[in-house]
Every structure is written in C-alpha cells, then in structure tokens.
Amino acid sequence: MALSLPKGFLYAGSSAGLKNDGKKDVAVVYSEVPSIAAGLFTTNAIKAAPVTVSMEQLRKGRKRMIIANSGIANAATAKDGVKDVNEIISAYAKGFDIRQEEILVASTGIIGRRLPVEKVVSQITALKNDLSRQGFMDAVKAIMTTDTVPKYGSRRLKIGSKETILTGFVKGSGMIQPHLATMLGFFTSDANITQGALKKALLGAAEASFNRITIDGEMSTNDTVLVMANGLAENDTITDEGRHYAAFEQAFIDLTRELAEKMVKDGEGANKVIEINVTGARNEEDARRVSFKLANSPLIKTAFFGEDPNWGRIVATVGAACSYASETGLKIWIGKQPVFSSGKGIDNESLLKVRNSMKNRTIQLTVDLGAGNRSFNVMTCDLTYDYIRINSTYTS
C-alpha cells in the first residue's frame, strides 16, 4: 500500500550524535496549524521525564509539534531529566516560532543517561530547513533503536464527501508488553475530529493492537503513543457519538494492527511470529492472562524457535495460568493441526506434519479452554540466540 500523508503535516529527522553510530536520532513532526492531540503512556510507576512532561503538556490545549529522540531514554534521571526536556522545549519553541505549550516530546534508548541538551538543540536549524513531506522517512528512521526495519503506514478514509488521511510510524522491538512497553508511535491526521473522539479512537486502536503484542514481557519507562489531528480535510466533524466515528476508529485499528504486527516481526532476535488465540474462557480477563502467559513463556518461545511441536509445555503453561483448566477440556492446535484434545496428544506421524508446518515464518497457536465462550488474542515472537546476543551487551 502506497504511503499517504495528511494535509498540513511536515516531518524531519537529523543526527544529534546521541547514538554511537552517528545515525539519525532526532525526529520532528510539525503541523502547519494547531492540532488537537491525544496520548497514551506507559503504566510503569517510574516514568521517563519526557513521559511526565508530555502528560502535563496534553492538558494545555492544541499542539503544533512532536520532538522525539532515540539513543537516550532520559529515564531514571529525576528532576534533571525534566529540566533537560524543558530546556529543549523552550529552545525548539523559539526556533520554530511556536508556543512551548504546543510541543509534545518522547524519548527511547538507554535508561539512566542524561540527554545532552546542547546536542539536541544544535539540530533546530537543520530540522527546520528539512521540514517537508519528504522528511517523513527521516523522521521514521530517527526513532529507530534496535529496530531493523522502519515501520510506518497510512489509511485513507472518506468522511462524507471529504477524504481524510491517517498516517503513523512506530518503533519498538524489545520491552514490548501490554500497556505499550517501549514503543513509540506517532500518528498524524488531517481529519476534523473532536478531542473526545480522538482520544477514544486512540484508546480503542491501542487496545486492539499495541496492547496485544509482547516480545519479552518487559515494560518500559518511556512508552508513548501520540496522535495529532489538524482538521485540514474539512470533513464534517467526527464526534464520539456521531455516525462517522466507527469508521474512523476502524481505520485507526487497521493501521495500528498493521504496525503492531510489524513490531512483532521485528522483535529483538525474532525469527518467527506466533499468533496466539485463547478461546473457551469463562471471562476475557482469564483468556487474556492465559494468552500472555503463553506469549511470554521462554520454554514455549524457544520450542517455536526450534520448530518443535512441544505441546506438553503448552499444556503445562495453560495449567499454570488458569485454575479451571483441565486436561480433558483442553484443546490445542498448532496451525490448523489439532495436537491435543480429550487428554491425548496426537501420534508421532501427525506430529511430523505439524513440525513441517512450523517451518513457516508465522505460526498460529490456538488453545481452547473448553470452559466458556470468551476469548483473547496476542501476537508474539520466538526466543532466539539473537535476543541473547542483542541484550547481553546493550549498554557496553
């Protein structure tokens, strides 16, 4: 699908030297007119400075700009971190001739290091000069850390007689777990929409996408998803009770699901995507808990890496996560092949077929608890040698 960009948004990315390799590390998203905005943030009790600052800024009306950096997370930096962010905001407001209240921020990278304010500020002129629609890819690259591919996408949506565009880009390949653990995501739209509707659609989209993926069960201090909508498409206003709302939320869900899947595919060291679907639960919370327990189980993740249909580990993990799971009620499928039901696993010949199907890059794992009619689905990746390699030397 070709990328579409919404009216009135410009982008840029540059290198401030926050990363050792000199790659782009500061991104700017700029709206030519004041936009309404909404955000979602990590639920970690210890929030990075840019998170606490952006949460505060969101209470102060319309926005013009997002400044995001990679390389340094500016987390666990206490008051110094907040002071640093505020200095950056002050300098960028002056440089771009906008008000300080109109700026949102986000950071990702190593926790515990101070952000070198001068380096970030030194990029203002370059970023201002580069601001353009073509600058989109520079911005996308500037937020990447251990990501191996840029992750972005867009949706076109007719609202009445007007076409609106929603475009987003994300980063994140480790520390992802429900509640958005280290991912950054920035969405821009020219739709005319109320603040309430925008916030509701963001929540709905995240719940259906980013909150259903996990790489390693870790939760970051920095997760931030921001959306800005500037109304330049001049469509009838989308309100949260109005007739256009459902279509807007659905487009948002479609786009965030696409990006969530890209994040899992690009999970640290990931070799395979595992789509987990848990059905037959007494309530959704149980289905969710079993899904994530399976998705974060090192034994199951390594078995999928080894293309080993070790359904015994799946049985054990379900039993550990659900008090009413029973051997006789439980059914398990890998891909379309049933591997366990009525308390029995399949024979070795059938198992060989399953093993072959596990050579695929994407594998479905379906678990039916046989105890109710509620379900939940989660996407994760396998656990590989590369995960260990990447994470055993991250700050070294």
Please list the active-site residues.
Answer: 182
- What SS3 state is found at 251? helix
- What SS3 state is found at 221? coil
- Contacts to its own copies from residues 336-355, by CB under 8 A: 340, 342-345
Contact 198, 227 (CB under 8 A): yes
Relative to beta strand 273-281, strand 362-368 is: parallel
318 belongs to the binding site for its own copies (CB under 8 A): yes
* Cα atoms in the 13 Å half-sphere on the side-chain side of 317: 23
Query: For its own copies, which stretch binds (CB under 8 A), given 146-154, 242-250, 276-284, 320-328?
Result: 320-328
Neighbours of 25 (CB within 10 A): 29
According to DSSP, residue 43 is labeled -
Among 154, 211, 221, 291, binds its own copies (CB under 8 A): 221
Nearest to 54 by CA among 99, 24, 86, 91: 86
220 belongs to the binding site for its own copies (CB under 8 A): yes
Handedness of CA 353, 356, 362, 365 (dihedral sign): positive
308 belongs to the binding site for its own copies (CB under 8 A): yes
Side chain identity at residue 137, one-letter code = M
From residue 31 to residue 70, the character string flagging contacts with its own copies as x (rule: CB under 8 A) and all else as - is -------------xxxx-----------------------
Q: Which is nearer to its own copies, 92 or 387 (CB)?
A: 387
Say how many residues touch its own copies, by CB under 8 A.
68
Among 149, 246, 299, 352, binds its own copies (CB under 8 A): 299
Q: Which is nearer to its own copies, 147 or 216 (CB)?
A: 216
Among 41, 92, 311, 333, binds its own copies (CB under 8 A): 311
Residue in this structure with the two tokens 């590989």, named with its chain if needed = 384
Contact 140, 13 (CB under 8 A): yes
- Contacts to its own copies from residues 63-122, by CB under 8 A: 73, 75-80, 110-113
Query: For its own copies, which stretch binds (CB under 8 A), given 26-34, 94-102, 185-193, 296-304?
Result: 296-304
Nearest to 54 by CA among 219, 212, 225: 225
Nearest to 225 by CA among 51, 352, 376, 373: 51
Q: Which is nearer to its own copies, 160 or 312 (CB)?
A: 312
Binding site for its own copies (CB under 8 A): 44-47, 73, 75-80, 110-113, 174-175, 181, 216-221, 297-299, 302-303, 305-306, 308-313, 315-320, 322-328, 330, 340, 342-345, 383-385, 387-389, 391-396
